[in-house]
Amino acid sequence: MKAPIAAAVALLLTACATTTSPTGRTQYVGGVSQAQLNQMGEQAFAETKAKTRQSTDARQQAYVRCIVTDIVRELPANWQQLKWESVVFVDDNPNAFALPGGKVGVHTGILTVAKNQDQLAAVIAHEIGHVYANHHDERITRQLGAQGALGVAGALLGSRYGEGAQQTTSQLGGAALQATFLLPGTRTQETEADVVGQELMAKAGFDPRAAVALWQNMITASGGNQPPQWLSTHPNPQNRIAELQARATSLVPVYEQARAAGRRPNCG
């Protein structure tokens, strides 16, 4: 590594920090502050709402909002205090996402794949798991590190985030935000979101076994051809289903305890 590049990387790393994810994995975070991260998520969500048609079906919106509310209730208090918001977008792609700042988007396409509230909770809890596990912070910090290694100056004030993203100056905004936030996570992050999400849904009173059925439905929906975009960065589907099944077995007591304590979701 050449000296100027090494110096750039060293400078970046001094501004970052390590933390531990909900599963105990060491993470490098801190490329931006939490307040900036939340603002970026809010801006990316606002831009998505401006560009993508929202469902006018009040029942769909209430259905998703109910599941989000029940899952968020199982997060630590500081995470519950975010301004959580959910929107159903008209898009046939079976997809969903969650962003820092408490923003959750669900495509109408996933509503035909997730056959009941427990299966949809598996999708939503997985996405909220990404936020709770600081995956967006981790992704941005990693990308800033890559930019530093390439000698890109002013990464925090104006740079390209993701292929084809437009230049941004005062904030990491516009298309740059969406390119950073809405790209799939790494396989490590996707697996971790599975672990975190399945536990969250069980604690909220959603059947963790539904995660298995959901992913079986996703494979069926692909028609045996190219997996849906949402599956593209995940581990091998069959291996993943086996892992979900094993965790579901261990989480059934958590689910039953939640139900006994009165957490019985009724979202439709």
Which pLDDT score is estimated for 196?
97
Which pLDDT score is estimated for 264?
97
Average pLDDT over the chain reads 80
Q: At what angle do helices 210-221 and 237-260 cross, to 10 degrees?
A: 150
Which pLDDT score is estimated for 222?
74
Which pLDDT score is estimated for 15?
54
The DSSP secondary-structure symbol of 184 reads -
CA–CA dist 125, 98 (Å, integer): 9
Q: Over range 93-109, report the average pLDDT.
A: 95
Q: Which residue has the tokens 């929906």?
A: 221
Q: What is the pLDDT of residues 27-43, one digit of tens each?
A: 878 878 889 889 989 99
Residue of 127, 190, 192, 243 marked active site? 127
- The CA distances from residue 3 to 6, 9, 142, 166, 217, in Å, are 5, 10, 20, 30, 52
pLDDT tier at 133, thresholds 50, 70, 90: very high
CB 177, CB 44: distance < 8 Å:
yes
In the chain, pLDDT over 90 holds for what percent of residues?
55
Is 127 one of the catalytic residues? yes
pTM (2 d.p.): 0.79
In this structure, of 18-32, 106-120, 150-164, 247-261, the range with the lowest mean pLDDT score is 150-164
Q: What is the pLDDT of residues 202-260, one digit of tens each?
A: 999 999 999 999 989 988 887 755 454 444 555 567 788 999 999 999 999 999 999 99
CA–CA dist 164, 154 (Å, integer): 18
Residue type, 158: G
In the chain, pLDDT over 70 holds for what percent of residues?
74
159 pLDDT exceeds 70? Answer: no
How are beta strands 17-20 and 26-29 bridged, if at all?
antiparallel
Residue 105 bridge partners (DSSP) = 87, 97
Q: Helix, strand, or coil here: 26?
A: strand
